[in-house]
Amino acid sequence: MKLGVLFSGGKDSTLALYLAKKEGHEISCLISIISENKESYMFHTPSISKTKMQAKTMKIPLIIEKTKGQKEIELKDLEKAIKKAKEKYKIQGIVTGAVESVYQASRIQKICDKLNLECFNPLWQMDQFELLEDLLKNKFEVIITGVFAFPFDKSWLGRKIDGKFIEDMKKLNEKYQINPAGEGGEYESFVLYVPKLFNKKLKIKSFKDFGEKNSWRREIDVG
């Protein structure tokens, strides 16, 4: 089936893309929504504009739609982008990286129903530690680009998701009920490389950090 992927450049949307491709589906395009609202209800925001570089190294066309990021209104911009993908690339369905967010999944499903498209959620209700282990098993190279909850601080920015990261998340989950995969919005990520998906590893050329206390974001430049 020809599919479009709602793509943020983070671990969940990239893993969902990877799994859809593994199942034999044709990934016809990526769809990225760039929100002006850093507190967007629907869309990942740190370094979102760098999805262009990821799309380039995957050799998959990318549709970018900008939104003011106002609650519910941003869904009209998402619908516009999905409609473009359907018209331009003849997609038959949409892939999402939704894991637990009923808010996100239900709204995307509603848009797909309206446009007569299938909706695939390969990560839906997956155990969050299993999700992180899957990243390691498939040799994903992922870094943290944003943290937004206690007890995270600036030192977490740029960390790789590796075995030590998973161990630390187990401790934070036990002590503070932090969602291991960041499903509560506790952290955001960016994928630098996936074997058999990326043609080359993306390198961080420079970065700037913004924030205070337990809320930090890293804007990266990659090449």
Same domain, 150 and 109: no
88 and 10 in a single domain? The answer is yes
DSSP codes joined into one string, 76-132:
HHHHHHHHHHHHHH---EEE---SS-HHHHHHHHHHHHHTT-EEE-TTTT--HHHHH
119-130: pLDDT as tens digits: 999 999 999 999
Could you list the residue range(s) of the whole structural domain that residue 162 is in?
140-222
Same domain, residue pair 115 and 145? no
Shared-domain flag, residues 60 and 153? no
Q: Is the same domain home to 116 and 165? A: no
Together in a domain, 8 and 100: yes
Look over the chain and give the mean of its residue pLDDT values, rounded to a whole number.
93
Does 206 map to a domain? yes
CATH number for position 116:
3.40.50.620
Question: How many folded domains does the chain comprise?
Answer: 2
- Pairing mode of beta strands 215-222, 204-212: antiparallel
pTM of the predicted structure, to 2 decimals: 0.94
Per-residue pLDDT tens over the stretch 12-66: 999 999 999 999 999 999 999 988 776 655 565 667 789 999 999 999 999 999 8
Residue 130's pLDDT is 98
Q: Is residue 125 part of a domain?
A: no
Looking at the DSSP bridge assignments, the partners of residue 32 are 64
Query: Which residues, in sequence order, are CB contacts of 184 under 8 Å at separation 6+?
Result: 149, 178
Residue 135 placed within a domain:
no
The tens digit of pLDDT for each residue in 134-166 reads 999 999 999 999 999 999 999 999 999 999 999
Q: How do 141-148 and 187-193 pair as beta strands?
A: antiparallel
The CATH number of the domain where 154 resides is what?
3.90.1490.10
Q: pLDDT at position 40, please?
A: 59
Report residue 180's pLDDT band, with 50, 70 and 90 as the boundaries. Answer: very high
- Is residue 82 included in any domain, yes or no? yes
Q: Which two tokens stand for residue 198?
A: 């990326």
The reported pLDDT for the residue numbered 67 is 86
Give pLDDT, residue 35.
Answer: 81
Q: What is the enclosing helix (H) or strand (E) of 141?
A: strand 141-148
